[in-house]
Amino acid sequence: MRIGLRRIHSHGVGQSTEWSHPTLIGRGTFDDFKLHAGNLDFKVEAKSQIDLVVRTNDYLPGASSGWHTHPGPVFITVTQGELTFYEVDDPTCSPTVVTAGHGYVDSGHGHIGRNLTGNSARDVAVVVAPVGAPFRSELPAPGPYCSF
Q: Report pLDDT digits (tens) over 24-68.
A: 999 999 999 999 998 888 899 999 999 999 999 999 999 999 999
Right CATH for 21-132 from 2.60.120.10, 3.30.530.20, 3.40.50.620, 2.30.110.10: 2.60.120.10
For residue 111, CA distances in Å to 46, 66, 80, 141 come to 24, 8, 20, 11
Task: Label residue 64 exposed, middle or buried (CB < 10 Å: 0-12, 13-18, 19+).
Answer: buried
Mean pLDDT confidence for 110-139: 97
Coil, helix or strand at residue 40: helix
Secondary structure of residue 70 in the 3-state scheme: coil
| pLDDT tens-digit series, residues 78-124 | 999 999 999 999 999 999 999 999 999 999 899 999 999 999 999 99
